[in-house]
Structure 1
Amino acid sequence: MNRVTGICLGVIDMKKSLQFYRDKLGFKTDETGDNPDVVFFCTPGTKLELYPLDLLAKDIDPGNPPAPGSGFGGITLAYNAITKEEVVEI
């Protein structure tokens, strides 16, 4: 079965991004702070995450993170396998 289990958006301003998704669009989250390190929204099936853009770039390549303007759009997709066997199969 094809499935995307997580969408991560790299954001420059966590506070403004959180206010937009949570307070303006009404996305549900357990996060009550105004400027957390990371935010997960409770969406059906696929989780939406806000994460600092600079840290997301370092997560992609710690030795040579993609620079602004390099084509990196600040978005990652995740596929979480159910079992270790599924990882091997895929």
Structure 2
Amino acid sequence: MASAVFAVSRGKNIFRVPMTKFGKNLAAGLAAILLVATLSACQKQEGPAERAGKDIDKTMDDAGQHIEKAGQNIQDAAKDEKKE
């Protein structure tokens, strides 16, 4: 099994340090943490057009609910008229 070697430079001297299993896992873990931190910082900011779109969606949903309620009231009124 080949072991990875990590070169550490200090001035003109270069030290070769063998990468142990712990070192490889540590490096992979740090890389994963860095990737997650980088991607989480790239969330899109909500602009005015998106806020306006969300307001329109909410208004349309509210209007739809009121129309359904009005239709139900009309059906109830029609049933009451048949009974009389």
Shorter-chain TM-score range: under 0.3
TM-score by length of 2: 0.18
Rg larger for? 2
Tell me: higher relative CO, structure 1 or 2? Use CA pairs within 8 A at least 6 residues apart. Answer: 1
**Which structure has greater strand proportion?**
1
**Structure 1 length as normaliser, TM-score?**
0.17
